[in-house]
Structure formats: C-alpha cells, structure tokens
C-alpha cells in the first residue's frame, strides 16, 4: 500500500516542490495507509488470540487457575460429549 501511495500524483507533486521525506511520509503517505494498517493490525491481534487459545487447548498454555478460552474448551469437552450422546451414562 505504501508503494502504491508513493506512486500517486500528490506525492510526486510534493517531491517536485521540494518537501522533505519526513514531511511527505507524515502528511501524505501515513494518512492514506492508516485504514489498511488498522485492518492488518486487527487481524494480527485476532490471529494471536486464536493461536493462544489453540495452544491452551492442547495443554501448552497457561496453568488451570488462569482463565483462557482454550483451557475452558478443553475442560468442557467431556461435558459436551455427554450432552450430545443420549446413551452415555451421566
């Protein structure tokens, strides 16, 4: 996205009138890539949460007193199996 924005006409005009690179980056490039940057950062955080939950589900995460999604799913697995199977003894 930075390379695409760098090739835009307004950035070329700023270069032609002699703007310093710091000003071009802060005034022209950063505001135009802020939206996609927020989306990429949000997806990165979501991926980290899923990875942490997966590791915790496998038993490689936090210890049992700490609440984590993967640990909660792992501990509730037996109850889910019993609720879905009508012939299983409770």
SS (H, E, C) the chain: CHHHHHCCHHHHHHHHCCCCHHHHHHHHHHHHHHHHHHHHHHHHHHHHHHHHHHHHHCCCCCCCCCCCHHHHHHHCHHHHHHHHCCCCCC
Which pLDDT value is given to residue 38? 96
With a cut of 70, which residues of the chain have pLDDT below it? 86, 88-90
Give residue limits of the domains in the chain: 2-84
pLDDT at 88 (0 to 100): 63
């Amino acid at each position: 996205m930075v390379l695409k924005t760098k090739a835009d006409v307004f950035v070329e005009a700023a270069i032609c009138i002699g703007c310093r690179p710091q000003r071009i980056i802060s005034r022209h490039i950063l505001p135009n890539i802020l939206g996609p940057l927020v989306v990429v950062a949000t997806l990165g955080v979501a991926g980290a949460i899923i990875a942490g939950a997966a590791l915790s589900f496998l038993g490689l995460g936090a210890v049992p007193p700490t609440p984590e999604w993967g640990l909660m799913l792992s501990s509730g697995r037996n109850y889910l199996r019993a609720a879905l199977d009508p012939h299983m003894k409770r």
